[in-house]
Structure 1
Amino acid sequence: MLTFKERIQKYEYHLNDTDDQIISYINDHFTNVTRMSIQAIAEESFTVPNTIVRLAKKLGYDGFSHMKNAIKHELEANEEDVPGDVLKKTKELIDEVHVEQVHHLLEQARRVLVYGIGDSVTYCEYLVQGYRVVNKKCEFYLHRHTTITELEAMTPKDLLLLISVSGESEAVIELAGRAKEKNIPIVSITHFTHNSLVNYADYRLYFYSPPERLLHHNITNPTPIFYLLRHLLEQYWKNHK
């Protein structure tokens, strides 16, 4: 299950200043809120109970009680140090609103350019081939300079999809910066963490697969990444059968 802080990151585009005020109070009194009533939290955070209920629903909870119980379970899980299920967490991270918005952009885009480097090349090729199944023209170029040349010919009517497990690849971030200057819509696909790439993205799609290395080799679990990409493709294919 996603933690409270992870839900904040996932749904941050929904949140307003009042939500941030309540969240700040909850984070500062994380243990105490599990023993507080909604009226007490509202009074301490200078808001009203209905606003807290709305916040809970924005964060994907059924309501205040669900949010409070989830925080309690989270505290207990932390004490037991229970490892997370990366595939289950990836499923919880998928935001269908963003998936639908990305597909709308794909549908309208004159050109779609996909880019990633290193181990992400495999993911880029998989995604491009999947969209081509239903004759959606997508482009992927292995060489950075070719990609930059193609990007320079793109306009705000096009779309750039960037894949980076860490979200910190300098080459990918450089491309995002160039696209931002040209007002080209950007979709980032990264591991669920605060990273540099998401700061450039108009839409952020997440999987949960923390980078892992063994004896200088990348052993990051690819299953959650492919799960997200497959979900994107299957949702797109549904409308093009």
Structure 2
Amino acid sequence: MLFLDKLEHTNDLTENEQRIATYIKDNLASVSEMSIQNLAAETYTSHSAIVRFAQKMNYDGYRSMRHDIIKAAQQQLSQLNDVDANFPFSEADTAIDVAKNIADLTINTVKKALTQLDEKSLAEAANKIVRSKRLVLFAFGDTQIRARSFQNKLVKINRFAILAEEYGDDSWTSVSLNSDDLAIFISYGGDSKQYLKIIRFLNKQKVPTLLITGNPDSKLKTFATQTILIVQDEYNFFKVSTFASQITFEYLLDTLFSIVYSKAYKDNLINLQNNYDKLTQNNILTT
């Protein structure tokens, strides 16, 4: 029987033992790191009271009971809870509560994103990246941070992407593109008027485009060559932060990079080794 089940089904507890049981249940993570003296102090009981409680729970003593408390705390941390993507924590949450909620939100968000992806769409997007002569990323605000991370990864496989808004030149960048290039628009809301103008223009110029968005009603979809739509439970404005959308973008861009990498896996590994050798032989790597 698991520790929490034992705790729930142990009868005939004294008032002191009931207080110990309640405290352990409400503070499982912190109790897992407590000595018997600390637990006695926190529950206003004694060393001997803790031992008697452990024995009533069918343990030899506190040490063997604490072993199961540690396992129960680890199991509790690994259990996923539904977390509001817009307000994943409250002022009443402890530091570990916040950490647990953000972990749950991250895992739930990635799992929800995965269920909305399909093999054909991922392969098509990766092939567009591989075939493109030039790769231009349209992203601003928080999303541009994700785009920069993607840009940084691509450098490792000799793919050099351009951030269209780097110097506020997204319009000039767009008019230089042609059918050999690929423009990737990363926008969760998918409602930027400037992006709509640009993607409509690129559509007329037969420039391949990939739209990554969370808005099924985005007007940009009409003009995009391909759209990857991943919807999360995130509001446009009324929220603590853009947790879910940015987790989604990071996950999807990491996935696309990995697929592209895998298409020339051995060559990329050889290139990695060659570049490393050049860096070390020429004393370029910083230590």
TM-score using structure 2 length? 0.50
Whole-Å separation in 1 of the counterparts to 2:109 and 2:153: 23
Letter in 2 for 1:182: Q
8 Å contact kept, 1:116–1:162: yes
Identity of aligned residues (%): 14
Q: Structure 1 residues 97, 215: CA separation in 2 closer, same or farther (over 3 Å shift)?
A: closer
Deviations 1:131-161 (A, max 9, x none): 2221112111335751221221211111110
The answer on 1:236 being equivalent to 2:284 is no
Report the counterpart of residue 193 of structure 1 in structure 2: 216
Could you say if the C-alpha distance between residues 236 and 200 of structure 1 is closer, same or farther in structure 2, counting changes exceeding 3 Å? same
Tell whether 2:232 aligns with 1:204: no
* Counterpart-to-counterpart distance in 1, 2:166 and 2:152: 18
1:112 matches 2:164: no
Distance in 2, matches of 1:150 and 1:213, equals: 28
Which letter maps to 1:159? Answer: L
Distance 1:143 1:233, change over 3 A: closer
Deviations 1:184-211 (A, max 9, x none): 0110001152211211111111233343
Partners of 2:205 and 2:236 lie apart in 1 by 36
Superposition CA RMSD, Å: 2.6
1:225 aligned partner: 249
Supply the distance in 1 between the matched residues of 2:221 and 2:123 (Cα, whole angstroms): 18
Pair 1:154–1:227, CA change in 2 (3 A)? same
- Matched with 1:45 is none
| Aligned residue type for 2:224 | A
1:127 aligns with 2:150: yes
Shift of 1:171: 2.0
- 1:214: how far off? 6.5
Asked if 1:142 corresponds to 2:165, the answer is yes
Looking at structure 1, the residues matched to 109 and 231 of structure 2 have their Cα atoms a distance apart, in angstroms, of 6
Show CA shifts across 1:46-67 (max 9, x none).
Answer: xxxxxxxxxxxxxxxxxxxxxx
Whether the 8 Å CA contact 1:164–1:172 is kept in 2: the answer is no
Q: Distance in 1 between matches of 2:188 and 2:112?
A: 15
Which runs of no fewer than 5 residues in structure 1 stay unpaired? 1-82
Secondary structure of the 2:169 match is helix
**CA distance, structure 1, for counterparts of residue 115 and residue 234 of structure 2:** 19
Question: Per the alignment, do residues 225 and 143 of structure 1 end up closer, same or farther by CA in structure 2, a change over 3 Å counting?
Answer: closer
Task: State the secondary structure of the residue aligned to 1:155.
Answer: coil
CA distance in 2, matches of 1:92, 1:144: 36
Structure 1 residues 216 and 98: CA distance shift in structure 2, 3 A: closer
Task: Report if the CA contact (8 A) 2:125-2:256 is conserved.
Answer: no
- What secondary structure does 2:255 align onto? helix
Change (3 A) 1:214 1:185: closer
Determine the C-alpha separation between the residues in 1 that align with 2:229 and 2:237.
24
Opposite residue 212 of structure 1, the aligned amino acid is Y
Give the greater-gyration-radius structure (CA). 2
In 1, Cα distance between equivalents of 2:130 and 2:239: 40
SS in 1 for 2:124: helix
Contact in 2 for aligned 1:113/1:138 (Cα 8 Å): yes
